[in-house]
Structures are given as structure tokens and as C-alpha cells.
Amino acid sequence: MPDAQCLLLFNHQLSTNMMTPKEVENLFLKSGALLSGHFLLSSGLHSDAYLEKFRIFERPFLHSRLIEELLSRFADKKIETILSPALGGVIMAAEAARQLKIRAVFAEKEGGKLTLRRGFTLAKGEKVLILDDIITTGGSVKETLEIARAAEVEIAGIGVLADRSGGKVDFGMPHIALMNLSLPVYQPDSCPICAQGIPLYKPGSRKI
């Protein structure tokens, strides 16, 4: 969608008090962030649909509006710090912290496991909001939760732009998603799309 049309859509969403899941889905569709094909997800599963959040992130006026909407669901939580897993979560954390005028830290892989690096620390009792972009199995958020719990912070909540499991992921506590979609996923050894001989793509790289 050309930026002029995106701006028109954005201005419409901005005029509403609260965005509905359908309006969020429409933003993903119109910005080209909801893709069809044969994809290898970060969870290792295969799917015929992919949410390319960077098509949202490339237009900060859309991304900022979605973050504003997500933060509104935690308005009474007195959040002190945003914690997110890398990579997409880094962009989200920075924008959320900018809006709230607080700090943002992120976890990244080291030795195959998410951890805090770069001098980032969390203090006991600190009120932390965990944000991520798209969840399928919720693996990255679960690892981030482990980091937060190990630091004995107070977890204010979990917020995501989109939950492609349709709300089935269990974190042991509620999470809020601006959009819930039940998008099919398949184990690599029983993927019907593989059986059709359709090339597999890992988003962000060439076909596998």
C-alpha cells in the first residue's frame, strides 16, 4: 500500500478511542504484513501464512500507533521498565519506552539461550512490562519471563502485537494481544505444503 493510503488508514484509526482486533488485522493486511506462502517460523514449525512485522516497523507512524494502543491496555500498571526479546521486540521496547518516558532493555541469544547482555540489569521489585511482536508457540516470551522471574521483578503484564496461536499459548499468566489469529502450523516431517513441493522460505533470508 502506498504511504499516502497508509496515512489515510492511520488517521482513521487514530480518530477511534480503541482499535478493534479487526482494525489491527486490516492494518497488517493493507501494509503487506500478512503474507501467504510456505514459511519456516522461528519456532521451527512450517506455515502457509506469515506475519512480517517489519512491514509495520518500516512505517513508524503505524508502529507508534499500535504501541500506543497496546500500552493503553496497561495504563494503570505504573510500569518502570520495558523488557523484550530480540529482534523485533527491541524496536517495540524502544518505542514503548519513548512513549512512557522510561527505560527499555532487551534479551538476546547467547549460547542458544536468551539472556541480558550489554550491561542490562533488572532490580528486585522493579515493575516490568514484557512486550513482543508475534507469538506462535511463545518460546521467546517464556524465556524472557524466566529472566524476569530470576531477577525477582514485579511483572506488570505481557503484551504482543499479534498472537497467531489464537490465544492458545499458556504463559502461566494472562497476556494481551492486539490481534488473535488462528493460523495453521505444521511439524516439518508432516507438513502438507512440503508434500506439494512448494519451496520453503525462512523470512529474512533466501529460500532454504
Structural domain boundaries in the chain: 3-195
Q: How many CA atoms lie within 13 A of 130 on its CB side?
A: 27
**The predicted structure's pLDDT at residue 15:** 47
Burial class (CB in 10 A: 0-12, 13-18, 19+), 146: middle
CATH of 3-195, one of 2.120.10.30, 3.40.50.2020, 3.40.50.1370, 3.30.420.40: 3.40.50.2020
Cell of 105: 532493555
Q: Which pLDDT does position 30 carry in this prediction?
A: 86
Mean local confidence (pLDDT), 183-198: 94
End-to-end CA distance of the chain: 28
**pLDDT value at position 43?**
85
d(CA 35, CA 27): 13
Give the 3-state secondary structure of residue 69. Answer: helix
pLDDT of 5 > 80? The answer is no
Segment 121-145 mean pLDDT: 95
Residue 87's pLDDT band (boundaries 50, 70, 90)?
confident
182 φ/ψ angles, rounded to the nearest 5 degrees: -95, 85
Query: Has residue 105 got a pLDDT over 70?
Result: yes
Over residues 113-120, mean pLDDT: 94
